[in-house]
Amino acid sequence: MTLGRLAAPFVLMGALLCSPQGECAVTCESFGNDPGWEAVNNIPPEDACQEKTQDFRYRDTSRAGGKPGEIGGWLYRSLTPSYYAAPIEKKTLEDTLKASGRFAVTQSQAGSGVLIGWFNSASRGWRTPNSLAVRIDGEDGKFRVFFEYGTRNWQTGDGTTFEGRYQTTTTPMHPADGTPHQWSFEYHPDGAGGQGEMTFTLDGTVFRAALAEGHKEDGALFDRFGVFNQQISGNGMEIYFDDLSIDCGKLPFDQEPGWEGLNNEVTFLDCAVRPYHDFGYRRSARAGGEPGEIGGIVWRIESMLPQNSLIFGTPVSPLTFDDKVKASGKVAMTLGSADSGLLIGWYNSHTPIGAPPMNFLGIFIEGPSRIGHYFRPALGTSDNGAQVGGSGPVIRADGASHAWTFEYDPAANDGKGRATATLDGASAVLDVSEAARKGNAAFDRFGVLSWLRGGHCAELFFDDLAFTSGTESQR
C-alpha cells in the first residue's frame, strides 16, 4: 500500500517524515500475504543439505591414554546442538572453576571443532552464551586449541598472552595423530584485578586471559559440564577424553558415567549450511503481531565470494542523500552467533554488494564479539565511500520483539546530513561526513542484504514495515 500523506494506521508504527513539507510516498507492509519481493540467494539449493552422524558417548577404549574407559567419538559442527555432559550444581562467573584431563584427536576435518567445559543446557549459538570452555578447532588433519567464554547476554571473549605476547590463536597447530595431550583449565573470579581470569595449560605450557571489562558483571549461568559441539556450520572431528577432574572431583571413566546426552547419537540431515541463506516470507509471528513476516538465517559472506550474497527487497522510486527518508517496524533476533550481521534499508539494485555496499542507507545489525549485536546506522556512497555508526542500542538473540525506526535528515548536521536509528526508543546517531555527502548515493530498492565480510549467521525476523518509497513529487 502506498500513501501520499501520513494516515492514522501508519502513525501507530511511528511518524514518517520524508520532505520538509512533511509529504512523502510511503509503503506499509504487514506481510499478511507473501509480498513477492525480489530475492537473490535467499533459499538453499537442493543439494545444500548434508547428512551428519553425531556419535559421541562412553566407550571402553583407551585412545586418550591410561586404562580402558573414556568418552569420545565423532562430533560435527552444526547449528543443531549436541552434547554429552554431566548435570552440575549451578555455577556462575562469581565461582572459582577448575577442570583437567587428557584428550587425543584421532581425525579432524577442515572446519571442525569441539568444546569441553561448563555451559548451559538451554544455550544456543556460535560462541555459546553461558559457557566457559576449551575449544579444539580442527583443520584437515590438524588442530589448535582455544579457550573462551560467553556471558548471559551474548558477550564473548577469548585469547591469551603467551610469553608476554598477545596471541590470536591460543596454541600452535598440532597433528591429529592420536597423541594424548594433558590439559587443565581454571577460572578465578578475583583474577586480573577483579575482572576474572582464565588460565589454560596444555602439555605444560601456560596461557592466560582476562575477561573483558564488565563481562563478569554481565554474568553467566552454567548447569552442565561436558563436551558440546560448536553450533555453527562445519565438519567433523574424532576426539577422546579421559581422566577428567572437575572442581577437584575425579572422573576416571572406568565405567559408564551415566551422563546426559542431547543429539549425541543421531544421524540427521543438516540444512543450515554456510554460505546458504534461508530467508524469505514466513507465516510465523516471531517479530510480533499477526502471522506473516519476513525472516530467517543470513550468513556473513567472504569478500572473495560476493556471488553468495543475499539480496531481498522491493523497488522504490529513485531517492538520494538529498531526500529525507524514514523507516520503522518490528524486529526479533532468535539466533545471533558471534561475527554475524546483516543490513536493512535502501540500496541500489546495480550495487547491492559490499561492506556496506555502495549506494546504501539504513541499519547495520552487527557488532564485536565482546558486545553482541549493535543496532546502528550505516551508509555507502556512490563513489564507494562508507560510514558506520560507532555503537548503538544492543539487540539480543532472545526472540524478544522490538520496535525500531530509522530516519535520515539531509538538512541536519550543518547540511551534511544525519542518520538516526532507534531500538525500543534508544538511539544511535551517525553524522554524515562532508566527503560522504559529496559522494552522494542513489537508491531504487528497500530490503535486507547480507554483510560482505567472512563470519557466521544470524536469524532475524521483520514485520509491520513502513518505509519511504518516493517523494510526493514522484507519485
Q: Identify whether residues 167 and 210 lie together within a single domain.
A: yes
Q: Identify whether residues 303 and 213 lie together within a single domain.
A: no
Asked if 229 and 75 touch (Cβ cutoff 8 Å), the reply is yes
Whether omega before 81 lies within 30 degrees of 0, making that bond cis, reads no
Helices of type H across 3-158? 8-11
What pLDDT score was predicted for residue 160?
A: 44
* Percent over 70 (pLDDT), the chain: 91
> Band of the pLDDT at 345, cuts 50, 70, 90?
very high
> Band of the pLDDT at 196, cuts 50, 70, 90?
very high
pLDDT tens, residue by residue, 315-330: 999 999 999 999 999 9
What pLDDT score was predicted for residue 6?
A: 29
Q: Identify whether residues 426 and 406 lie together within a single domain.
A: yes
Q: Identify whether residues 42 and 105 lie together within a single domain.
A: no
Asked if 144 and 114 touch (Cβ cutoff 8 Å), the reply is no
Mean pLDDT score, 344-367: 95
Domain boundary (270, 294, 310) is at 270
12 or 54: which leads in pLDDT: 54
What is the 3-class SS of 155-199, one letter each residue?
CEEECEEECCEEECCCCCCEECCCCCEEEEEEEECCCHHHCCEEE
Q: Is the dihedral of CA 56, 60, 65, 70 positive or negative?
A: positive
Q: Identify whether residues 34 and 18 lie together within a single domain.
A: yes
> Band of the pLDDT at 166, cuts 50, 70, 90?
very low
pLDDT tens, residue by residue, 438-465: 999 999 999 999 999 888 899 999 999 9
Nearest C-alpha neighbor of 327 from the set 80, 28, 89, 68: 28
Q: Identify whether residues 33 and 56 lie together within a single domain.
A: no
440 to 205, 345, 433: CA distances (angstroms): 54, 16, 11
> Band of the pLDDT at 158, cuts 50, 70, 90?
low
Domain boundary (270, 289, 312) is at 270
Give the SS3 label for residue 439.
Answer: helix
Whether omega before 189 lies within 30 degrees of 0, making that bond cis, reads no
Q: Identify whether residues 215 and 282 lie together within a single domain.
A: no
Give the SS3 label for residue 42.
Answer: coil
Q: Look at residue 355 and tell me whether its pLDDT is greater than 60.
A: yes
Angle at 218 between CA 82 and CA 154, to 5 degrees: 40
What pLDDT score was predicted for residue 65?
A: 85
What pLDDT score was predicted for residue 242?
A: 96
Mean pLDDT score, 231-256: 91
- Return the CATH number at 175: 2.60.120.200
Q: Identify whether residues 164 and 33 lie together within a single domain.
A: no
Q: Look at residue 259 and tell me whether its pLDDT is greater than 50.
A: yes
> Band of the pLDDT at 23, cuts 50, 70, 90?
low
Domain boundary (222, 241, 270) is at 270
Q: How many residues does the chain have?
A: 475
DSSP 217: H
Cell representation of residue 433: 561526513
Q: Identify whether residues 60 and 166 lie together within a single domain.
A: yes
Distance (Å, whole) CA 274 – CA 164: 36
Number of other residues whose CB lies within 10 A of the CB of residue 279: 23
Asked if 71 and 255 touch (Cβ cutoff 8 Å), the reply is no
Distance (Å, whole) CA 55 – CA 266: 7
Q: Identify whether residues 343 and 453 lie together within a single domain.
A: yes
What pLDDT score was predicted for residue 164?
A: 37
Mean pLDDT score, 364-371: 86
Q: Identify whether residues 22 and 59 lie together within a single domain.
A: no
Alpha carbons within 13 A on the beta-carbon side of 430: 28
CB-based burial, 48-65: b 16+ in 10 Å, e otherwise: eebebebbbebbeebbbb
Mean pLDDT score, 268-286: 95
22 or 305: which leads in pLDDT: 305
Q: Look at residue 74 and tell me whether its pLDDT is greater than 90.
A: yes
Q: Look at residue 13 and tell me whether its pLDDT is greater than 80.
A: no
What pLDDT score was predicted for residue 5?
A: 27
What pLDDT score was predicted for residue 73?
A: 98
pLDDT tens, residue by residue, 380-400: 999 999 999 988 999 999 999
Q: Identify whether residues 187 and 54 lie together within a single domain.
A: yes
Phi, psi of 44 (to 5 degrees): -60, 145
Distance (Å, whole) CA 436 – CA 459: 31
Number of independent structural domains in the chain: 2
Q: Look at residue 3 and tell me whether its pLDDT is greater than 90.
A: no
Q: Look at residue 188 and tell me whether its pLDDT is greater than 70.
A: yes
What pLDDT score was predicted for residue 123?
A: 86
- Return the CATH number at 9: 2.60.120.870
pLDDT tens, residue by residue, 117-131: 999 999 888 888 999
Q: Look at residue 192 and tell me whether its pLDDT is greater than 70.
A: yes
Domain limits for position 187: 50-270
